[in-house]
Amino acid sequence: MSEELFKAMAQSVIDGDPDLAAELAQKAIEQGIDPLDAINKGFVPGVDYVGEQYGKGEMFLPDLVLAGEAMKAAVAVLEPEIARRGGQRQTLGTVVIGTVEGDIHDIGKTLVATMLSVGGFKVHDLGVDVSVGKFVEVARAVNADIVAMSALLTTTMVRQQDVIEALEDAGLRSRLKVMVGGAPVTRSWAEEIGADGYSEDAIGAVAVAKQLLGVG
Ligand code: B1M
């Protein structure tokens, strides 16, 4: 019975259907299924499949975006139930993420945040147009393991470097890892500014974050 439900959950993510994903998550709660099983045995195989197909060029960006939204809708229904049961999702580390100052592109950043959250990280999403000072302030306040910055404009990429310098000035740089990404960002840019990690997409970002912390 729950096997069928798990299959339907995976399919709802593959089909990028947030309403159905939320409905199936609710159904799992009503049937007394462990919400962690619903996430890990139901929805995660769906998002893994989409990630693999995207990697092979057989599914495309809209599929990835919709799969992320479906996953997010399901997790939003299940997380209160996890808290209610007193269970804790495995937390691999704390990530502070945002799009840098002067930049309002949020689709890729949000997708990366969702994937990190689904992948087991506690994510503080600061949104877009995030000032250098805000990254530092929140990283300190939440004792971040990773500061993750997205930039979509060649004119705003330089803010990633400013944040790294500000983390150094604040004495936080050696305590955490820095990841950068966004369409104009390259591996060589990441190396040039002294970031620890770079990924060109959201699926890769989860693997890089795990690798940086030596977890998962
Ligand atoms: Co803008 N825009 N835009 N735009 N926009 C680009 C980026 C641009 C390349 C379009 C172009 O000219 N071909 C160009 C930048 C040129 C440059 O600097 N080289 C551009 C421009 C010029 C502008 C404006 C200046 C236009 C204007 O007003 N004259 C303006 C800037 C506003 C500002 O930010 N201050 C502007 C505005 C906008 C909209 C608001 C209209 C809209 C954004 C809506 C929104 O985000 N809510 C928009 C859009 C949609 C785009 C394009 C078309 C698409 C961006 C997107 O969402 N892609 C974009 C062209 C393009 O990229 N093809 C463009 C989908 C998204 C899933 O991908 O964000 O790349 P992406 O994220 C990927 C990876 O990059 C990676 O993973 C994600 C998922 O795989 N990734 C990370 C992202 N962050 C990561 C972080 C990581 C790791 C991986 O670790 C921390």
What ranges in the chain are assigned the alpha helix state H?
Answer: 2-14, 18-30, 35-37, 44-55, 61-84, 107-118, 132-141, 158-169, 187-193, 202-213
pLDDT for res 86: 60
Separation of alpha carbons 88 and 17, rounded Å: 26
Mean pLDDT score across all residues of the chain: 93
Which domains are present in the chain? 2-84 (1.10.1240.10), 94-213 (3.40.50.280)
- The whole-number average pLDDT for the span 168-181 is 98
- pLDDT the model gives residue 192: 98
Question: pLDDT, tens digit, for every residue of 98-154?
Answer: 999 999 998 789 888 878 887 889 999 999 999 999 999 999 999 999 999 999 999
Within 6 A (CB) of ligand 1 lie 61, 102-109, 111-112, 148-150, 152-155, 179-184, 199, 201-202, 205
Say how many Å lie between the CA of residue 8 and the centre of ligand 1. 33
Average of per-residue pLDDT across 26-43: 92
C-alpha separations of 73 from 28, 59, 76, 211 in Å:
14, 21, 5, 27
- Site to substitute for ligand 1 among 61, 101, 103, 105, most atoms within 8 A of C-beta: 105
Instruction: Tell me which residue has its CA closest to atom 69 in ligand 1.
Output: 108
Whether the pLDDT of residue 91 is over 90: the answer is: no
Token pair 């939003």: residue: 76
d(CA 68, CA 113): 10
Q: What is the predicted pLDDT for the residue at 72?
A: 85
For residue 105, how far is its CA from the centre of ligand 1 (angstroms)?
5
Asked whether residue 85 carries a pLDDT value surpassing 80, the answer given is no
pLDDT at 88 over 80: no
CA of residue 89 relative to chain centroid, distance: 15
CB 12 within 8 A of CB 24: yes
Closest C-alpha to ligand 1, atom 20: 153
In the numeric block, the tokens 């949104």 are attached to: 127
CA-wise closest residue to 124 among 104, 116, 175? 116
Q: Which string of DSSP letters, residue by residue, matches 156-204?
A: TTHHHHHHHHHHHHTT-GGGSEEEEESTT--HHHHHHHT-SEE-SSHHH
- In one letter, which amino acid is 80? P
Query: Angle 74-77-81 (CA atoms, 0-180°, nearest 5)?
Result: 125
- Work out which ligand 1 atom sits closest to the CA atom of 184: 19
* pTM beyond 0.75: yes
Q: Is the pLDDT of residue 87 over 60?
A: no
pLDDT at 8 > cutoff 90: yes
